[in-house]
Structure formats: C-alpha cells, structure tokens
Amino acid sequence: MVNVNTRIVLVRRPTGPATPECFAVETTPLGELEHGRIRVAVEYVSVDAGTRTMLRGEGFHQQVGLGDVVLASGVGRVIETTLGAWPVGQAVRGRLGAQTIATVQPAQLTRVDDTVGPLSLHLGALSGTTGVTAWVGVRHIGRPVAGETFVVSAAAGAVGSMAGQIAKIDGARVIGIAGGPTKTVHLVDELGFDAAIDYKHDDVRARLRELCPDGVHVFFDNVGVPILDDVLDNLAMRARVVICGAVSQYDDIDHVTGPSLYLRLAERQATMAGFAYMHTPELIDPAIAELTQWVRDGVITLPETVHEGIERYPDALISLFAGGNTGKMLVKVS
C-alpha cells in the first residue's frame, strides 16, 4: 500500500507570470483513511490556463491558499475506500489536485468509462473544461451553419482544437489562429482546418481580409486583444463572437485590456457573448454523449503534450503560457 503523497504546493503568489519559485514539491505521509473518504492514485493531472487565475488569492475561480496543493483536475483509480459504491480499481475524474495521491469525499468524484480509451481522454476531449466547453461554445453560443466562416484563436490549444473540429462537423469553413508554422501546419494537415494564420509571423488582420473576403461569421476567442480587435475589424453582418477565455490577460487580471473596436458589433449588427460550461449543466450529459461517440468513431482527435512526473507540474504550467503545447497539456503522474 502506498504510504506517502507527493504534491505541488503554492508558496508564493505570482505578481506577473508564474515562476518556479512560486511552487514547492512536498512529500507527506498518508494517515489512516477516514470513514466516508476515498483514496485515489492520480494518473494524469490537467494543466489549464484558468489555473493561473486561481493563484492570486481572490477572483472568480476557486483560489489556492498559500501552502495548499495547487488545484487541478485529475484522473486516476481508487486504491483505498471506505465506501462500497466506490470499489478499488474504479476509474474516476475530479478536482484531485497536483499530487500523486488524493484523499477525497465522493462528492468530489465522477466515475468515468475506461473502455473509451486512455484515462487522459477524460481530461481532454471528454472533460468539462475542454471538450464540453468547446461543444457548448460552438453548438449553443456561436451556432455556425454550413458555409459560414468560423475563426478560432489559440486554435492549437485544447479548447481551440476541439472547437474547430466541431465547427467542421457542423459544415463551417474553419480558420485557426495559432503561433508558429508547426502549429499552423498541424491545424490544416492533422485536424482538417481549411486554413491557419500564424500570429507570430503573419499580419493577422491582413490575412483575415485575404482568407475571409465575406467576413468572419463566428469567432471563438480564447485569447483576447490584440487578436480580438483584428477579428472584430473583419466581422460579417450579424456575426457571433464567442468569449471563451482571454489567455493574453491572465498574468495581469487586475488590468485587463478590452477591445478597442467593439463598435464593429453595432456597425455589423453582431453579437458578443461570454459563457462557461457550468452555467448550462443540462448540456453536459448530451455533450459528453456526442463527444464520446465522435471519439469512438475517430471523427475528432485531441493531441496531448505530456510532462512526465508530478514534479514537472510547475514547468508544464509555465510552458502552457509560453505556447509550449499542442492540444491538451498534461502531467503524467507515474
């Protein structure tokens, strides 16, 4: 039986971008399992942009206390239990934290189907923060129809990759915005996007005019300005702008820079709407069902960028904000 837990704790709040000095690796003994608790061996930990906003001490998302385990979604298997409904070996997903062993209450866990594929799928294509978020944002906020042009920023990231593929399924012409030629080639050759723009080397606004002569009908934004302004300047009439995230702003969330071209919404009779998947709980099960079928059928795919070992979690989080991932960023615990 495992008798120690290795965990990543927050020891210093970042004042800008997170640095390795903000975190520490701790190994602590495991005590006797209390009644009503479940012990899970964590196999994969999700590395998400939203985690950066949890390190501040205040904000919309649940916050990480100094000295506490960094909050993160994880998947793993039950290794010790006091509850018969949660047997040893059960595959689960939940807010397990950046650690090797999680001791939790059942309300913190969801059973997952380990016959679909590797457990990591349940942190990516089949997770709320990735697959379900993309599904809700595309299907219920953006609502692209066949023949419309759908543009997505951070397109080579986890949510962006999924959103573009779902829009393609719905018949849209899909253009991704990503950083670097490796990612743009991946979007077109591997994920089936119709075109891609390299924001690091291309003039984004000029490329949008070239690729979207009739304007952008749906924009799924994960980045914020300045790319948001570039797309606002190229909207089609009655376009829909979907605000999913703003990764460009998370390092200084107290001084968010908003779009300067928001009046294009009025000029083009367009709409802009933000969302978070947890606001529509009734859509989660339908989304998971359809996403699972697409995964089984090979209709969608989500690449993974994996760091090995829980001690690599801080490096993985920092790398995520430097654009070091293609698809879903994960830490493989063991």
**SS3 state of residue 169:** helix
Distances (CA, A) of 72 to 25, 130, 269, 313: 15, 13, 39, 10
Residues 133, 268, single domain; the answer is yes
Residues 113, 176, single domain; the answer is no
**SS3 state of residue 248:** helix
Quick check: 277 and 284 in contact, CB under 8 A?
yes
Distances (CA, A) of 116 to 121, 133, 196, 291: 8, 20, 30, 11
Give me the percent of the chain exceeding a pLDDT of 90.
90
Residues 138, 166, single domain; the answer is yes
Residue 86: inside a domain: yes
Residues 105, 222, single domain; the answer is no
Residues 114, 159, single domain; the answer is no
Containing domain of residue 115, as a range? 4-124+302-332
Q: What is the pLDDT of residue 1?
A: 65
Residue 290: inside a domain: no
Kind and range of the H or E element at 272?
strand 271-274
Residue pLDDT, tens place only, 298-328: 999 999 999 999 999 999 999 999 999 999 9
Residue 92: inside a domain: yes
Residues 193, 159, single domain; the answer is yes
Residue 320: inside a domain: yes
Nearest to 192 by CA among 172, 221, 208, 210: 172
Q: What is the pLDDT of residue 62?
A: 81
Residues 104, 244, single domain; the answer is no
Q: How many Å apart are CA 47 and CA 328, to the nearest integer?
A: 8
Q: How many Å apart are CA 241 and CA 274, to the nearest integer?
A: 8
Residue 286: inside a domain: no
Q: How many Å apart are CA 209 and CA 317, to the nearest integer?
A: 34
Q: How many Å apart are CA 261 and CA 229, to the nearest integer?
A: 6
Q: What is the value of pTM for the model shown? A: 0.94
Residue pLDDT, tens place only, 82-91: 999 999 999 9
Residue 14: inside a domain: yes
Cβ partners under 8 Å of residue 21, min gap 6: 11, 12
Question: 218 — phi, psi (to 5°)?
Answer: -135, 130
Residue pLDDT, tens place only, 146-180: 999 999 999 999 999 999 999 999 999 999 999 99
Residue 274 neighbours by CB distance under 10 Å:
14
Q: Looking at the 3D structure of the chain, how many domains does it have?
A: 2
Residue 292 neighbours by CB distance under 10 Å:
17
Beta bridge partners, 198, equal 178
Q: What is the mean pLDDT of the chain?
A: 95
Residues 157, 145, single domain; the answer is yes
